Amino acid sequence: MIRPRRAFLQLLALGSGALAACRAKAPAPLPSFLGAPISPYGERSPFVHAVRQASDRTRTPEQASSLTPLADTYGIITPSSLHFERHHSGVPKIDPAQHRLMIHGMVERPLVLTMEELQRLPSQSRIHFVECSGNSGNGWAPTPRSTVQGTHGLTSCSEWTGVKLSLLLDEVGVQPGASWILAEGADPAKMTRSVPLAKALDDAMVVYAQNGEPIRPEQGFPIRLFLPGFEGNANIKWLRRLKVVDKPYETREETSKYTDLMADGSARQFTLMMDAKSVVTHPSGGQRLSGPGFHEIAGIAWTGRGRVTRVEVSIDGGKTWQDASLQEPVLPRAHTRFRLPWEWDGAETVVASRVTDETGYVQPSREALVAVRGLNSNYHNNMIQAWKVKADGTVEYAVI
Amino acid sequence: MRSSRSATKTQRHEEHVGLVSCLRAVVAVSILAGGAFVVEAQSPHFKVGRTPTADEIKAWDIAVGPDGRELPPGRGTVARGKVVYVEQCARCHGATAVEGPEMPLVGGKGSLNTAKPLKTIGSYWPYATTLFDYINRAMPFDRPTVMSADDVYAVTGFLLNLNGIIADQDVMDAKTLPAVRMPNRGGFVPDPRPDVGPPPKAKAKGGA
């Protein structure tokens, strides 16, 4: 019934579209034809193209990472489809009806839970970032990346819903003497990390939802361990087992990887906390300002130690700094959006941001970091990131 | 094929376990009357989940810590390890474990405090048990869990031998592997951060 009518209307629309194309730069005609019908699962506009980008070290796509296009995200929430990825043996396809979580080890009552049982328990939703400790690690080497996606795209922020781990541990009854928890995933690599019991009892969660829908397969469907403010790798995806123990298990990912080599040859281990970091996303590398005049400087700041309390922005290469405004909500262990109005005079300049968190920690310069840690530590680089705005409006990576 | 078969096995196991825990609950209640030890079938506060059987825990509990407590029975020689390495590992790690394309597994001794540190099993890994654990759970990359415990012991021993850590005739098993002392065992330090900038307010209690 409807179909012939719609076809006729579309034909009409096509005709008027062709007519409009003939008239150069005419204003868009009033909307006069039917749009697309309702759909079961929404898609973004065909005119929006921002995508995750594979990190440039990718050899095996199952053992790789992809980066969030930070310059093309707004506010503090990262769309689930653009959340960065880091997999060690691909994304497993897990049927939640078959999946189980086992909690055992130094507990009074070992327990196996179905996903339905887990979701019956009292839950909470919290907005937190997840960041790979290798994020902005290119800062250790003098190898500029062209965009903020390339430098800082291994952080994303979502609303996570799940059950507090402390509640689950209360159900199993942790025995005296326990001090760590071994968490294991159901991916083929069975990713395993040791987590301090204190963190598990504090704010850790077992989460099953992200941004209002079941957690994405790339983020651990049906469940992942969530450790607010701790390095991404320890937030075990596809979680299948928690073993309460009295010492770290010295797994591959906490010995040969995710340890920070210092200049003297010693390596820091269990560097789980993500230090405060900020980055300007506009203007940032690869963008082009249309010309002198008003531009809003915007970016994100975050810290694993709690709340962001201040973000300063420099528009003269770090000589002077001024406070940016922090957009509410300013949440603990979450991306915080900062903004600063800017009249660009058209001259070449360098912009940068510097965050302070509620512990008083101030984001360091590259120079200060290197002085303490040398150049070999790979992980946990949170140096001030700068961007050079050139007279033609193009923006490039810069170090101050 | 392999995964669908194991899923069926898991399902059957689940049904079996469900039946057992029902029986156990009945037994528990009757023992409770006598004041004896009780195995609870569900969590105490929210009454969810079930108690895993000892066999179930054993089957899942593959993680091997530094004391080697969870190491399975079995043993492997360096000679057998070389055969396993060629079959399972060489295509990614190279004929002598340095050619790649994956990162070298051998060498780098004395390089950690230089401008070009090379982190290998020999130069960096602090525990030999980690090597067994990782190979056992995750290798070979595209077909993990195909190797027997004997072969995992053997290839672990082969790689330790290639790094000059154990002798040609050494045999790796649940006793000998945890006793292997890795060269960089003392190379790791706790996290001292925050290590740059002004001292944090939260810890400003005076002293170090």
Task: Decide if B113 and A362 are in contact by the 8 Å CB cutoff.
Answer: no
User: Mutual orientation of helices B128-138 and B149-162 as an angle, nearest 10°?
Assistant: 130
Instruction: Check residue A86 and give its pLDDT.
Output: 96
Which residues contact residue B158 at a Cβ distance below 8 angstroms, ignoring those fewer than 6 apart?
Answer: B78, B80, B81, B82, B84, B85
Instruction: Give me the pLDDT at residue A20, please.
Output: 45
Instruction: Say if residue A17's pLDDT is above 60.
Output: no
One-letter identity of residue A47: F
Residues 6+ away with beta carbon under 8 Å from B94: B100, B101, B102, B104
Residue B178 three-state SS = helix
Tell me the pLDDT tens digit for each residue of A365-382: 999 999 999 999 999 999
**A3, containing H or E segment:** helix A2-22
pLDDT score at A8: 45
Best interface-test mutation with B: which of A359, A369, A380, A384 has the largest number of B CBs within 10 A?
A359
pLDDT over 80 at B200, yes or no: no
User: What CATH class has B75-179?
Assistant: mainly alpha
The 3-state DSSP class for residue A314 equals: strand
Find out whether B110 and B164 touch, Cβ atoms under 8 Å.
no
pLDDT at position A28: 79
> CA B64, CA A252: separation in Å to the nearest integer?
11
Count of C-beta atoms within a 10 Å radius of residue A172: 21
Predicted TM-score (pTM) of this structure? 0.88
| Every domain of chain A and the residues it spans | 70-137+155-265, 277-398
Interface of B with A in 143-182 (CB under 8 A): 144
| Cβ–Cβ < 8 Å for A375, A141 | yes
Instruction: Kindly report the average pLDDT of chain B as a whole number.
Output: 84
Q: Which CATH superfamily, name and number, covers A70-137+155-265?
A: Oxidoreductase, molybdopterin-binding domain (3.90.420.10)
Report d(CA B85, CA A357) in Å as an integer: 50
Distance between CA B49 and CA A119 in Å, rounded?
12
Confidence label for B27 from pLDDT (cuts 50, 70 and 90): very low
Instruction: Specify whether domain A277-398 bears CATH 3.30.450.20.
Output: no
% of chain A exceeding 90 in pLDDT: 88
Contact B190/A269, CB-based, under 8 Å? yes
CB contact residues (below 8 A), chain B span 93-132, against chain A: 101, 112-113, 115, 117, 119, 121, 124-127, 129-130
Local structure of residue A283 (DSSP, 8 states): S
Query: Is B123 a residue whose pLDDT tops 60?
Result: yes
How high is the pLDDT of residue B110?
A: 96
Kindly determine whether residue B193 and residue A60, on different chains, have CB atoms separated by under 8 Å. no
Tell me what the mean pLDDT of segment A177-192 comes to.
Answer: 98
How would residue B61 be classed by pLDDT, with cut points 50, 70 and 90? very high
Would you place residue B100 in the very low, low, confident or very high pLDDT band (cuts 50, 70, 90)? confident
Sheet of A85-87, strand order = A53-54, A64-67, A85-87
**Chain-chain contact of A376 with B190 (C-beta, under 8 angstroms):** no
Q: From B17, which residue of chain A is nearest by alpha-carbon distance?
A: A112
Beta bridge partners of A103: A111, A242
Is B65 touching A (CB cutoff 8 A)?
yes
- pLDDT over 60 (residue A178): yes
Q: Which residues in chain B belong to E strands, given as ranges?
A: 75-77, 171-173, 188-190
- Which of B191, B201, B203, B205 is the best substitution to test chain A (most A C-beta atoms within 10 A)? B191
Q: Cβ B191–A270 below 8 Å, yes or no?
A: yes
**Residue A142, min C-alpha distance to chain B (Å):** 13
pLDDT of the residue at A141: 86
For chain B, the domains span: 7-60, 75-179
Contact A88 B101 (CB under 8 A): no
CB-based contacts of B50: which residues, under 8 Å, 6+ apart?
A111, A112, B17, B18, B21, B41, B42
Whether A133 and A186 have beta carbons less than 8 Å apart is answered as no
DSSP code string of B32-82: HHHT-----SS-TTT--SBPPPHHHHHHH-----TT-TTPPS-EEEHHHHH
Element of type H or E holding A21? helix A2-22
Task: Write the CB contacts of A111 (distance below 8 Å, at least 6 apart in sequence).
Answer: A102, A103, A104, A168, A171, A172, B43, B49, B50, B51, B52
Cβ contact B141–A89 (<8 Å) = yes
Number of H helices, E strands in chain B: 7, 3
Q: Of B113, B191, B201, which is closest to A265 when you measure between CB atoms?
A: B113
In this prediction, residues A185-207 reach a mean pLDDT of 98
The pLDDT mean for chain A works out to: 93
Question: Left (φ > 0), alpha (ψ -120 to 50) or beta: where does A20 sit?
Answer: alpha
Return the exposure string of A144-168: e unless at least 16 CB atoms fall within 10 Å of the residue's CB, then b: ebebbbbbbbbbbbbbbbbbbbebb
Q: Report whether pLDDT(A9) > 70.
A: no
Does the beta-carbon distance from A265 to B66 stay under 8 Å?
no
Spell out where A174-266 has E strands.
180-185, 192-196, 205-210, 213-214, 224-226, 239-245, 260-261
Residue of A38 and B36 predicted with greater confidence: A38
Element (DSSP H or E) covering residue A197: helix A197-202
Q: Are A302 and A125 in contact (CB under 8 A)?
A: no
Above 80 in pLDDT, residue B206?
no
Q: Are strands A267-269 and B188-190 parallel, antiparallel or unpaired?
A: parallel
In DSSP terms, A336 is beta-bridged to: A301
Q: Please write the tens of the pLDDT for every residue from A300-356.
A: 999 999 999 999 999 999 999 999 999 999 999 999 999 999 999 999 999 999 999
Q: Which of A109, A166, A181, A378 to mutate to test the interface with B (most CBs of B within 10 A)?
A: A109
Q: Do residues A248 and B190 touch, judged by C-beta distance below 8 A?
A: no
> Which H/E stretch holds residue A169?
helix A165-172
pLDDT at A22 over 60: no
